[in-house]
Amino acid sequence: MTETERVRANTSRRSSELLANRLRRRVLAMICRAKSSHIGSVFSTIDLLAVLYDKILRVDPSCPQWSDRDRFILSKGHGCAGLYAALAERGFFPQSWLEEFFANGGRLAGHATHWGVPGVEASTGSLGHGLSIASGIALAGKRDKLSYRVFAMLSDGECDEGSTWEAALFAPHHRLDNLVSIIDYNKIQSFGRVDEVLKLDPLAAKWESFGWAVREIDGHDHGQIEQALQTVPLAEGKPTCIIANTVKGKGVSFMEDQVLWHYRCPDTNEQRLAFAELERS
């Protein structure tokens, strides 16, 4: 592709798609530098994060504690590289901080941490905590008659946790229609495929039966993501559950749909190939 062709192609793309591509490249650099992983779990969330931070969340980087801001809680705290990169893109902190990911004495720990990191609403890392915290913030918002919304992103493996379902029972009972649970349904958890470890299907029916308004979307189609998130609450008086069908490792062909990339850090050759793919896409 020539430079002219690239520019022409980019202008026809959504800003969130361009952001998603930048985020994937930043995350790849962070993870390679840190010699860490969870890259597959981050890449499955990137398109969702890009739409959220580009189009949906009412946040103000110059006033991160603004009381009526929307809240985003990454309940799957192991996917924090994407969140940090998105926050840096939105200007919550300098891009240079991303170099401190995993570093001794650095600000950015390997699971989402709010200590000294503007824009991170809650520290997570142990699964099954985020939806309860999000529900508490949503409930307080209702009772304070504030208009903010609370978005929590959960992994599919996290739906094994009983505490997730405690919160899933709570939110509809209290009619928290300012709460959105986004499930990154990439269908692979730590030890293998969700279907083999502990079946979740029919996942939409489970959330519906608990009283949530549910929509299933393609979690990599920016049009679908944006359309779904722009229309929340999907039903008045009900919390919204977006089940985003995603692909673990999305964006780098050899990482896609592989449990290995929950753990593996790309070697030098894989880094080169991955960057090349992301540059082209």
Partner 1 sequence: MRGAFFRGLMDLAVRDDRIYLLVGDLGFGVAEPFLQKFPERFLNVGVAEQNMTGLATGIALTGKVVFTYSIANFPILRCLEQVRNDVCYHKANVKIVSIGGGYSYGALGMSHHATEDLAILRTLPQMTVVAPGDPVEAEAATGAVAGHEGPCYLRLGRAGEAVVHRAQVRFQIGKAIRVREGDAGTLISTGAMLRTTVDVADVLRQRGIALRVLSMHTIKPLDTEAVLAAALETRAIVTIEEHSVSGGLGGAVAECLAESGKLVIPFKRLGIPTGFSAPPGTQEYLRELCGLSPAGILQELEPLLERVLAPSFSTPIA
Overall size of the chain counted in residues? 281
Give the one residue of 103, 169, 198, 205 binding partner 1; rule: CB under 8 A: 169
Name the token pair of 179.
Answer: 């709460």
Name the token pair of 49.
Answer: 């994060």
Do residues 182 and 50 lie in contact, with contact meaning Cβ atoms separated by under 8 Å?
A: no
Using the rule CB under 8 A, is 153 a contact of partner 1? no
- Side chain identity, residue 14: R
Q: Is the CB of 157 or the CB of 249 nearer to partner 1?
A: 157
Q: Is the CB of 139 or the CB of 232 nearer to partner 1?
A: 139
Bridging pattern class, strands 179-185 and 240-245: parallel
* Closest listed residue to residue 276, CA positions, set 77, 28, 102, 3: 28
Least distance to partner 1, CB of residue 120, Å:
11
Q: Which stretch binds partner 1 (CB under 8 A): 10-18, 84-92, 132-140, 257-265?
A: 132-140
Using the rule CB under 8 A, is 64 a contact of partner 1? no
**The dihedral sign for the CA sequence 16, 39, 97, 183:** positive
44 vs 79: CA distance, rounded Å = 9
Least distance to partner 1, CB of residue 166, Å:
4
Give the one residue of 37, 41, 123, 246 binding partner 1; rule: CB under 8 A: 123
Do residues 29 and 36 lie in contact, with contact meaning Cβ atoms separated by under 8 Å?
A: no
274 vs 266: CA distance, rounded Å = 8
281 vs 275: CA distance, rounded Å = 10
Using the rule CB under 8 A, is 80 a contact of partner 1? no
Q: Which stretch binds partner 1 (CB under 8 A): 131-139, 182-190, 224-232, 264-272?
A: 131-139
- Side chain identity, residue 161: E
Using the rule CB under 8 A, is 170 a contact of partner 1? yes
Using the rule CB under 8 A, is 126 a contact of partner 1? yes
Q: Is the CB of 141 or the CB of 251 nearer to partner 1?
A: 141
| Half-sphere exposure for 163 (CA within 13 Å, toward CB) | 13
Using the rule CB under 8 A, is 133 a contact of partner 1? yes
Using the rule CB under 8 A, is 78 a contact of partner 1? no
Q: Is the CB of 31 or the CB of 59 nearer to partner 1?
A: 59
Name the token pair of 237.
Answer: 């008086």
Using the rule CB under 8 A, is 140 a contact of partner 1? yes
Using the rule CB under 8 A, is 172 a contact of partner 1? no
Using the rule CB under 8 A, is 219 a contact of partner 1? no
Give the one residue of 162, 268, 269, 280 binding partner 1; rule: CB under 8 A: 162
Do residues 177 and 235 lie in contact, with contact meaning Cβ atoms separated by under 8 Å?
A: yes
- Residues contributing to the site for partner 1 (CB under 8 A): 67, 114, 121-126, 128-129, 131-141, 143-144, 162-163, 166-167, 169-170, 174
